[in-house]
Structure 1
Amino acid sequence: MNIQLALDRMTIQEAVDMARIVQDEVDWIEVGTSLIKEFGMDSVKELKRAFPDKTIVADMKTFDNAKYEFELCFNAGADVATVMGAAPLVTVETCMETAARFGAQVMIDLLHTSTEQQNTLHQFNDAVHCIHVSKDEQEQAGHQLKNVSRQAGGVRADEGLKLAMAGGITLESLPGLMLLKPHVVIIGSAITKAADPRQAAFQIRQVMNEQRERRIYG
């Protein structure tokens, strides 16, 4: 079970500094969409340069032009790149093919996908399937990733899929989300905006470990 640190709405240097503070508690480091849009592939290159042993995720949110965009990410050093699950199927297929050539991974963002679409995407069982509540939904509608059964739709870890979860996740909401046995839990503001980011990340790691032990030994 991996913690993915989401870095958004900051400079590259601020992102590097934040990741350095919590690096002992996180496994994957996400170069957020906002960093990529503002600073381009330099953001991916700098994070990979600073953390060569971490899994670097380029949150590209590709919807089209898959081969070009994914090659950009992987040539810049990303280990994982994201594609929108609502994209045309051929786009997702191209992302999978491109990642395979680079020995990299794909994360499929299930934001605003139907259960039918999610079921269709099950064929990509080498990808990580990300259950996601958007930033706008969090800020404008007050939604968070709390109702596991509603948000999961057609996605189940027991069907052999690797799951990621993202969307305003907090220390309080985390135990309930562990029911889906996620491969990756994506945490942004709960760490980056905490008074003590290192302590916040440590506490999140602690809760995840406790939940895992309960499943194994409980």
Structure 2
Amino acid sequence: MAQAVASAGAEFIEVGDPLIKTVGVTAVERIKRAVPHTTVVAEMMSADWGRDQVVPTAEYGADAVFLIGPATIASVSAAVDAGRRLGVPILLDVPSGHVSAHWIADREQAGVDGFAITTDIDIGVGSNHPLARSQALHSWTRLPVAVSGGFSSTDRMVLRSPEWDVLIVGRSVTEATDPATAARLLTQLIHQPE
């Protein structure tokens, strides 16, 4: 799957938290070995042990680490310190419901390299659309903002939106009959001139 998506032009491949919990951080190593020239992001969704979320994944080849937003500033700072030491950027999930400009500023001061608005896979997009949240987030930070939300090639307005810097796409590719073709179509639509 990783090779198919990388050959289709994906710039990042996320090794999800469920996979890492199932088989361990060796999943990161196997994916990085399969696609050595593609940025591999390890999704480590734990609210504590910030340093220990970064060190093993970096040692197994992660190029960036994605942490859960409700983590304390202490955990975020520990993760950032480890990331700086190992040359691994830290992306922080933005929890819905209680995020403010102050919350963002505190995490920026802790040193995170970007933010992500994720959509709870069990809930779906619902009424709180991730692009609306991303718009607010962009008004509070200049750091990159990644957005997930069950997007596919049929979401043309989303693919053209200026409200995201990184679009996270999962099941519309991984569950496609032909994942390489699905990824290629998305990549072409995203990079297509207006």
Tell me the TM-score normalised to structure 2 length: 0.87
Q: In the alignment, which residue of structure 2 is the partner of 1:27?
A: 11
1:129-140 equivalences under 5 Å are 129-138=115-124
Q: In the alignment, which residue of structure 2 is the partner of 1:168?
A: 150
More strand by share: 1
Q: In the alignment, which residue of structure 2 is the partner of 1:205?
A: 187
The residue identity in structure 2 corresponding to 1:152 is: S
Where does the alignment leave 5 or more consecutive residues of structure 1 unmatched? 1-17
Mapped to 2, the partners of 1:124 and 1:160 lie a distance apart of 15
Mapped to 1, the partners of 2:130 and 2:94 lie a distance apart of 15
Tell me the TM-score normalised to structure 1 length: 0.78
Q: In the alignment, which residue of structure 1 is the partner of 2:79?
A: 95
The residue identity in structure 2 corresponding to 1:156 is: H
Q: In the alignment, which residue of structure 2 is the partner of 1:111?
A: 95
Indicate conservation of the 8 Å contact 1:168/1:188, yes or no.
yes
Task: Indicate how the Cα distance of structure 1 residues 68 and 97 shifts in structure 2: closer, same or farther if over 3 A, else same.
Answer: same
Task: Indicate how the Cα distance of structure 1 residues 124 and 184 shifts in structure 2: closer, same or farther if over 3 A, else same.
Answer: farther
Aligned structure 1 segments of 4 or more residues deviating by more than 4 angstroms: 144-147
- Aligned with residue 173 of structure 2, among 176, 191, 194: 191
Mapped to 1, the partners of 2:21 and 2:73 lie a distance apart of 24
**Offset at residue 61 of structure 1 (A):** 1.4
**Matched residue pairs, number?**
191
Indicate conservation of the 8 Å contact 1:146/1:177, yes or no.
no
Coordinate RMSD, CA, aligned: 2.3
1:35-184 equivalences under 5 Å are 35-112=19-96, 114-116=98-100, 117-123=103-109, 127-138=113-124, 143=126, 146=129, 148-149=131-132, 151-152=133-134, 154-156=136-138, 159-176=141-158, 178-184=160-166
- CA displacement 1:80-131 (0-9 Å, x = unmatched): 1111121111111111111000011111011335232335334356512101
- CA displacement 1:1-37 (0-9 Å, x = unmatched): xxxxxxxxxxxxxxxxx11222222111111111100
Task: Indicate how the Cα distance of structure 1 residues 184 and 124 shifts in structure 2: closer, same or farther if over 3 A, else same.
Answer: farther
Where does the alignment leave 5 or more consecutive residues of structure 2 unmatched? none
The residue identity in structure 1 corresponding to 2:80 is: M
Indicate conservation of the 8 Å contact 2:91/2:112, yes or no.
no
% of aligned pairs identical? 25
Indicate conservation of the 8 Å contact 1:108/1:128, yes or no.
yes
